[in-house]
Amino acid sequence: MIAMKVPKVTRYVAMYGIACMTVLTGCSRDEAVELGENDRRYAAFYADYLVLSGVSSDGNGSGPVPEGEQVDSLLIVHGLTLFEFNERSDAYSSNPGLWRAVLLEVKNRLKAE
């Protein structure tokens, strides 16, 4: 059942790719947005997803899109359900400031690896 919904996860991840991270990081505002626990788990999931995809912290490189089983495993490792993942993705699409904060967290996690 989860495997049937994975394409939506993959679509969201692709939609909010490294290109968005680069653009939003450059469009800086002085507003500080505090991330909640679900946001930090989402950022950790997203950073690990990008690493699995072969993307480095500088935005270079790309590998195969992780398979559904890998995505399912990442969701479990980061304590996210598919519902929570989709809910957060929807929230970020309507709140660019929060999405920017999540992307900055992802960037920091990638640099730390």
pLDDT digit string, tens, across residues 50-106: 888 876 555 555 555 566 678 888 999 999 999 999 999 999 999 999 999 999 999
pLDDT at 53: 82
pLDDT at 69: 79
pLDDT reading at 16 higher than 70? no
What domain count does the chain have?
1
Q: Which domain holds residue 96?
A: 2-112
pLDDT reading at 15 higher than 50? no
CA-CA-CA-CA torsion for 35, 37, 40, 44, nearest 10 degrees?
180
pLDDT reading at 32 higher than 90? no
Average pLDDT over residues 16-40: 64
Name, of 7-11, 87-91, 108-112, the range with top average pLDDT. 87-91
In sequence order, the 6+-apart residues with CB closer than 8 A to the CB of 111 are 57
The CA distance from 73 to 48, in Å, is: 11
